[in-house]
Structure 1
Amino acid sequence: MNRLFNFSAGPAALPTEVLEIAQSEMLDWHGKGLSIMEMSHRSAEFVSVAEGAEQDLRDLMNISDDYAVMFLQGGATSQFGMVPMNLSQGGKVSYINTGVWSKKAIKEAKRFADVSIAASTESSNFCEAPLQSDLSIDSTANYLHYTTNETIGGVQFDYIPDAGDVPLVADMSSDILSAPVDVSRFGLIYAGAQKNIGPAGLTVVIARKDLLGNPLSTAPTMYDYAVHAAEGSMHNTPPTLAWYLSGLVFQWIKRQGGLSAMAELNHRKASKLYAAIDASDFFANPVAVRNRSIMNVPFTLADSALDKAFLTESEEAGLLNLKGHRSVGGMRASIYNAVPEAAVDALIDFMADFEKRRG
């Protein structure tokens, strides 16, 4: 087996331990004579897996019974439409614009609601998040939406916005489970699985129950949160393999010491990498220091003509998927929970060697 260091932004690295467990159970899950992906989603066996995964997530994030936890399909992109379909009541909603994913969410919301922009950092090329004092929140809005961590730009909020009585909605796709978070501050949280939760094909939605049950009359049944909450995310056949693997990841995080331990590790990994970038005249990171992501670290080379060589040589060194998003270029190291500290150390060593040879 030759497991290399994977810095992909998503689908992202999964814990080797989780993959080994899944491998051992692939043909015969717990002596049942078939794999988990071959079971009925309504069987007692799979229901136990589903309920166990939900409870483990509730334990990790300290999610109270006031919230429904749903395991849905369609990716976080589907939530760009589901959120306004369910929470806007066709009226006013407010959004914070901090980058590519915020803009996509805003564009979709405009199909269903009257959207106001509470703040935007587009004028600074999305290299920071707005301060609380910069926010202009419509008190009559049905919710305030923001993206906690912009995966492409590497911009992460360093605070939870105070929206007063307006329910707060967060796209946490790329930093959920990276550190403790006070779920009680939010009306709804959603996250695509393929960063810190599990494989692509699953989206977790955590929604305050009192906000559910009033979707737009035109919303399809499959886009009604209340339906999924009432039916245990099994209104139709769910992505059973992804759900099972996500449950294994939740158990793995528990074994590591939970979200506090994850936060300590993630901050240490990120601090090392940013320190190496800042100490160099060859590499640079454009993000305001207070908003530097601990999950996605974009960086550029002093001479972009060397980008191709950097990517070729880094891959030869066993460092995979460092190419930046096509919309911004440069490099990006995504250092999610499952990316070991040794991977970051290896990247830093490679960067120093590349600069010595090419700088």
Structure 2
Amino acid sequence: MPNFKELLTFEYKNEYESAYDLSVKRNFSNPKIYSANGDLKKRWYVYFSFRNPKSGKLVRQTPFYGDANKYHTKEDRLSILVTYRKVLLRLLKKGYSPYADNSELHHQLRSKNEITSTQNLSKDENKNSEAVSDEPKMTVEEAFDFGLKLKEKILSATTKRGYENKIKNFLKWLKVNRPEIKNITDLDKKVVTTFLNDVLDRTGPRNRNNFRTDLSSIIQVLVDNDIIGQNFIKKIPPLKSIPERNKTYSQDLQEKIFDYLEIEDPILLLYIKFISYNFLRPIEVCRLKVKDLDLKHKKLQVKAKNSPLKTKIIPELLWSDLPDLNKLDKEGLLFTPDKIGGE
């Protein structure tokens, strides 16, 4: 009876000796992936070396990029490059050479693929005919509801509302424009592209891109949970969006606005100063609670867009405008439409 070492050696030879003779030098190096240390601004690719038949030396060949650099996440790029690397290694083992005419190899592979495709198609048709009555399909509404419920665990309340609003708009559009689409498997790239074009026509490229991003995020959840086969929205490219610059007030007009608000709406004036003097986003000031202000050290803490929490020193000229906060409810919002500190 053969032992483990003998079995392993036998299988190793079966796997590799068909590609090249171990007694001679290999004609190629194993393909490798260049990922630019994770820098998505640089191009990622697969590269390898092949032995030049004239010099007998391994020579670095032209890198293969494919569609990898169209993707904008590390996971997506690495996934496609890993596939390229596997396919390239398989071709090299089958005899591909950058220094030779590979027409015969191409013909062999094409003939083999046609036979395999025909066989697989026949198998798939049989499987589908057996499964139609047994597997209930998820509707579009059910699928998006499922995806959002899984994703909401990692979303803030504000971000979740944004997702809900976009999904609601998309489902409403489907009912009016494509009422025949009932199941999530009926949804495809063409349908979503038509919807995004409608959003673009009614609003603009920035809003259209936001819809694309959020819908793609939910579709990816469905792919990860084997509800649909692929995230076709990733193949829809984002549009270039040119932001419009806000008009800057002149110094005289700013002073007039401040003078007016000091009499007519001092709460709004203080709100504007919190944005201006602390360099905060309007939504960040809206989130401020009384407890977020450190009265002793004259600092405030706010939940930022791109970090869990950030601390700001409150300028003296702003501090002097604040009322006494000691007697207010610590859980109350700092700014409300009619008073400082409330619901």
TM range (shorter): under 0.3
| Rg comparison, structure with higher value | 2
What is the TM-score normalised by the length of structure 2?
Answer: 0.23
What is the TM-score normalised by the length of structure 1?
Answer: 0.22
- Structure holding more helix per residue: 2
RCO higher in 1 or 2 (8 Å CA, sep ≥ 6)?
Answer: 1
- Structure holding more strand per residue: 1
